[in-house]
Structure 1
Amino acid sequence: MRLGQVCRIQVMGFGLVVLMAIGLTIQLLGIHFPKRTSQSSTLRVLSSLPPSLPRTCQPKRHIVFLKTHKTAGSTILNLLHRYGDKHGLFFALPIKYQFNYPNLFHSRRVKGINSPNRPQYDVLCHHMRFNLPEVRKVMPTDSFYFTILRDPATMAESSFSYYRSVSSAFKKAPHFKAFISHPSHYYREGERSNHYARNLLWFDLGFNPNAPFTVTLARAGARAVEGTFNLVLLAEYFDESMVLLKEELCWDLDDVVTFKLNIRGSSRPLEPEEVKKLRAWNTLDWYLYEYFNRTFWDKVERFGKEKMDNEVMRLRERRQQLGELCLEDLQPVRAEDIKEDAIKPFQFGQEKILGWAIRKDLEPYIRSRCVQMVTPELQYKDLLDARQFPAGSQNGTQTIVTPARVAVR
């Protein structure tokens, strides 16, 4: 073998050793380099996944969602907005941002309700105090009704933080511990915004939150809810709730993949004694929660525990996948760190509300899809309003866009 060949072999061997050493160093130091993803492969990631089983049902398009307060309702509202946007559904929108809450819902509060050329309403989902007879005046008879509940103890902690500036009972209390110790000392029925301070779920469902608790009353309320709503979800089991919702609506997995919206920057865990006191103060809500906790797990049992575990895993994997595709950071960020007003969360109360920042290096179509997933409810409502009622219509009497033109392309 010639000397030149030997030298070349030695140099190649040395180079291979150097490359291996560099690779080992990178692994040991935890260094990684972002992979450049082609547009075609990114589009494949963004495309909806196939359903786990062949569909034998038809997707539901007429939907009523009672958005209760402080129960992850804003996140659910986003998936309804996205689905309706995608499929050209027509939303029953409030004239402003709520249906005259905290008053009971009335059909006259729906924008465009008296327009002779309006299409049939498909989705009713914005803040209201539930009033079934008036809802039925707006929505088709085959509408699917659902809502979501939360343990009233943790819900009370969130409500105190968020609504302290408006609720008379909360404002009187020097701090949350004081309110927990003696809620009746600060609470007066009928004072400004005190519905946030006691049995808020019961109130949102259209019942009297100050009615004296009896098992007969509470049972009658629970059965009335059960007779009206096809599905009652639980905030504490959000992913399982999304799986049940997907199955009931006959939707695909991507339709119920969400990033949490309207998230508080901080919260403190409750002591067991505090939980006990808050549940006692919100007795009607606690009865409701216990009742529908049982019905929820009955549904899971019928669905199949193993099947549920698999579907929850698929949901979480897909959320992670889309998060890595869409988001600058997989953790929510402060509103001041989000430069786009279109996706900046509304700030209300003493706690900072977090949101999501979208990656800047995405293709326009992909980015628009990602932006939809993090658009807060107020901005999305404005987008839907502008599409359904163009030319600055304020009273719903001008030209209404037909559902086929509502969808985002």
Structure 2
Amino acid sequence: MKVPLPRCRLQRLGGALGVCVAVGFVLQLLGGPLQRRTPAPPPGPLPAPCHPRQHVVFLKTHKTGGSSVVNLLHRFGGRGLRFALPHGYQFGYPEKFRAERVKGYSPGGPPFDIICHHMRFDLAEVQKVMPNDSFYFSIVRDPATLAESAFAYYRAVAPAFRRAPSLASFLASPGRFYQPGLRGNHYARNLMWFDFGLPPVAPGDREAVAEAVAGVERAFAMVLLAEHFDESLVLLREALCWPEEAVVSFPHNRRPRGAVPRLSPGQLARLRAWNALDWALYGHLNRSFWRRAAAFGPARMAAEVARLRRRREALARRCLRGGGPLPGPAIADGRLRPFQPARGGVAILGYALKAGLEAGEREKCARMATPELQYKDILDRRQFGGGNGSGG
């Protein structure tokens, strides 16, 4: 038979248990002698604040995706920055760049903020036009796919391509069609090397090739990769300290996907061998790019790229008729219709805006959709109050 405890003993026991529970709970919260805790590491230094770069030199190389980069530069700078503009649409290309080809340039006059239209690069001449703290960057592409694109786009202006009945015929015997020094034939061999303004050297002269490539790395703080365009934009945004919205862009000057032929391994190898200087340049800059990407961090890169693509897709759905690109001839608005090559049989894609967009949203969408030539004319009128010339 159990003997009931007196009420006072029960109350004292319950109180003692309550005190123990409360003390244990407090020790868990505060950490006490019953629990060994690892001290938190001291906070590291905060990242230094950055300021958006407003002095920018972009060397737009041919057939590398540079038109898409020019669009984001036009948009960023079009709200008050001063562009170094050509009198026409290129700075005297294929001649080397000269400062006097910039509209409104005068020696000792105020420098410009952004230069981004086609030129054959000359560092000393560009430095006459741009401030000393300018950020120099460019873009490169696998010379095999670049050469295929150039063959389709420049058939009318490159004699070596015009004489060849097909790309396969050209690759079978390039020397049969190619004549060095003939005007327009710079499009047919080592086009990136030419655009960077590098001297003609023998591909087998490794020392001369290495010296030329090293000069590119000294002049340019960054070189993007066309094949990894979104990763390039992520790294560019960080380097320029620009807001995310500034580097969201629609692809420009593209061909329909089905119109781009698939090159065989043999064709790729022959095109790289024919463009050996470009292949050496691309290989070196490719390795430099991935070192920068590794320092940025693979997980961080994947997250940034995914966010960039989501933003682009959302804007395409909001802005564009059909939600994406259209063949140039199908775009009724001449302000948005892209330039079409004189020969080649492939329509370059562009964009048409959705009907019913509100005024502010329509303006934003139009800036993203406007092709390079029309945008250049807008900037020209804004800076000089007139139209454009037709010369380079």
Q: 2:369 aligned with 1:378, yes or no?
A: no
Q: Distance in 1 between matches of 2:357 and 2:323?
A: 16
Find 1:160's aligned residue among 148, 151, 167: 151
Provide the residue aligned with 1:103 in structure 2.
95
Q: 2:307 aligned with 1:314, yes or no?
A: yes
1:312 to 1:386, Cα distance in 2 relative to 1, 3 A: same
1:394 to 1:284, Cα distance in 2 relative to 1, 3 A: closer
Larger mean CA deviation between 327-336 and 120-129 belongs to 327-336
The one-letter amino acid paired with 1:151 is: D
SS in 2 for 1:263: coil
Q: Distance in 2 between matches of 1:119 and 1:74?
A: 27
Q: Distance in 2 between matches of 1:54 and 1:210?
A: 44
Find 1:114's aligned residue among 101, 106, 112: 106
SS in 2 for 1:65: strand
SS in 1 for 2:322: coil
Q: Distance in 2 between matches of 1:242 and 1:295?
A: 15
Q: Is the 8 A contact 2:380 2:386 kept in 1?
A: no
Q: Distance in 2 between matches of 1:299 and 1:109?
A: 34
Q: Is the radius of gyration larger for structure 1 or structure 2?
A: 2
Provide the residue aligned with 1:199 in structure 2.
190
Provide the residue aligned with 1:259 in structure 2.
250
Q: Distance in 2 between matches of 1:158 and 1:347?
A: 14
Deviation at 1:392, TM superposition (A): 5.6
Q: Provide Cα deviations, 1:129-175, integer angstroms capped at 9, x if missing partner.
A: 00000000000000000000000000000000000111010011111
Deviation at 1:247, TM superposition (A): 0.3
Provide the residue aligned with 1:74 in structure 2.
67
Larger mean CA deviation between 154-163 and 342-351 belongs to 342-351
Identity %: 51
Q: Distance in 2 between matches of 1:394 and 1:268?
A: 36
Provide the residue aligned with 2:277 in structure 1.
284
RMSD, aligned CA = 1.8
Q: Is the 8 A contact 2:201 2:209 kept in 1?
A: no
Provide the residue aligned with 1:48 in structure 2.
none
What TM-score results when the alignment is normalised by the length of structure 2?
0.84
The one-letter amino acid paired with 1:347 is: Q
Q: Is the 8 A contact 2:199 2:212 kept in 1?
A: no
What TM-score results when the alignment is normalised by the length of structure 1?
0.81
Deviation at 1:185, TM superposition (A): 1.4
Q: Is the 8 A contact 2:316 2:324 kept in 1?
A: no
Q: Is the 8 A contact 2:88 2:388 kept in 1?
A: no
Provide the residue aligned with 1:302 in structure 2.
295
Q: Is the 8 A contact 2:203 2:276 kept in 1?
A: no
Provide the residue aligned with 2:222 in structure 1.
231
Deviation at 1:337, TM superposition (A): 1.5
The one-letter amino acid paired with 1:90 is: R
Deviation at 1:56, TM superposition (A): 1.5
* Count of matched residue pairs: 341
Q: Distance in 2 between matches of 1:391 and 1:119?
A: 20
Provide the residue aligned with 1:44 in structure 2.
none
Q: 2:134 aligned with 1:143, yes or no?
A: yes
Deviation at 1:318, TM superposition (A): 0.5
Provide the residue aligned with 2:350 in structure 1.
355
Q: Distance in 2 between matches of 1:54 and 1:317?
A: 27
Q: Distance in 2 between matches of 1:393 and 1:267?
A: 33
Runs ≥4 residues deviating over 3 A? 208-213, 391-395
Q: Distance in 2 between matches of 1:282 and 1:392?
A: 38
Provide the residue aligned with 1:404 in structure 2.
none
Q: Distance in 2 between matches of 1:55 and 1:83?
A: 23
Deviation at 1:212, TM superposition (A): 4.4
The one-letter amino acid paired with 1:57 is: C
Q: Provide Cα deviations, 1:246-294, integer angstroms capped at 9, x if missing partner.
A: 0000001110011111111311010000000000000010011111111
The one-letter amino acid paired with 1:75 is: S
The one-letter amino acid paired with 2:69 is: I
Provide the residue aligned with 1:33 in structure 2.
none
Deviation at 1:222, TM superposition (A): 1.2
Q: Provide Cα deviations, 1:344-395, integer angstroms capped at 9, x if missing partner.
A: 0011131211101111110011101100001011000000000100156979
Q: Which runs of 5+ in 2 are unaligned?
A: 1-45
